[in-house]
Amino acid sequence: MYYNKVDISGVDTSKLIVLKEAEKMELLKKSKTGDKKARQKLINGNLRLVLSVIQKFIGRGENADDLFQVGCIGLIKAIDNFNIEMDVRFSTYAVPMICGEVRRYMRDNNPIRVSRSLRDLAYKAMQAKEQLTNKNQREPTMKEISDLIGVKQSDVVLALESITDPVSLYEPVYSDAGDTLYVLDQVGDKNDDSNWLDEISLKEAIHLLQPREKNILYLRFFLGKTQVEVANEIGISQAQVSRLEKNTLIKIKGHV
């Protein structure tokens, strides 16, 4: 598991137990009464859940052992704060708690320094986002988040953008039959007039796009709006904007 790594933070992942939902609820009830053995068994029985959550954070330059330990802190918080009277599976409650703990750790260890006030606002916005997602069962808009925490929408966008992980110049953005295109390949020199044929091809590729595709590119790359702002403006979800943007760029690259 995790690039063939069996041992992580001294834990043999091949021997981790998996508890059934009924067992979890029984142990949660005992844990709430102060039963330390039940609490420990509950932690051990959910370590595989921690591993599955941190998998999406692997490969961002962080040590897997550190991420696992931080994820365990999130798991413990979920155990201690879970309301056994709620009609919800424990894993449904625990996953956002574990994710939140890992994200906080990665933001606090970000090499790019962000002011404390901006970071605190970002945390509030993330908490509000999780709260609204759980309540409405959908991705909230920036306006909904800003209304909930009582902050201007533009400030919320700025705060969330400030904690976004920086992208490496060697980050692959497109791959076709082993021919990989990196961010570095898209960084051009404005003083270089030798690429005028590429410019003509690019204009032709954009001309062939559908109106909505052109509009998304215009809003994103000419007006500099975020995907969430674009989604709000044209009336679709942020996930749809992301997918359309990606497919449109692939179309353009294929034509050029």
pLDDT tens, position by position, for the chain (256 residues)? 444 455 565 666 677 778 888 888 899 899 888 889 989 999 888 888 888 888 888 776 677 888 888 889 999 998 888 888 877 888 888 888 888 888 888 777 765 555 677 778 888 888 888 888 888 878 888 899 999 999 888 888 888 877 665 555 555 655 555 556 665 555 555 554 445 456 666 677 777 888 888 888 888 877 888 888 888 988 888 888 888 888 888 887 776 6
**Structurally, what CATH architecture does the domain formed by 7-162 represent?**
Up-down Bundle (1.20)
| Distance of alpha carbon 217 from alpha carbon 238, whole angstroms | 14
Q: Tell me the two tokens of residue 164.
A: 């976004």
| Distance of alpha carbon 126 from alpha carbon 132, whole angstroms | 10
Q: Tell me the two tokens of residue 53.
A: 């959550």
Specify the pLDDT at position 1: 42
Specify the pLDDT at position 149: 92
- Domain residue limits, the chain: 7-162, 172-255
Contact predicate 228/238, CB 8 Å:
yes
Helix axes 64-81, 47-54, angle to 10 degrees: 130
What fold characterizes domain 172-255? Arc Repressor Mutant, subunit A (1.10.10)
SS3 (DSSP) at 12: strand
Q: Tell how far CA 47 is from the center of its chain.
A: 21
**With a threshold of 0.85, does the pTM exceed it?**
no
- The partner residues of 7 in beta bridges, in order of sequence, read 12
Task: Count other Cβ atoms within 10 Å, centred on residue 239.
Answer: 11
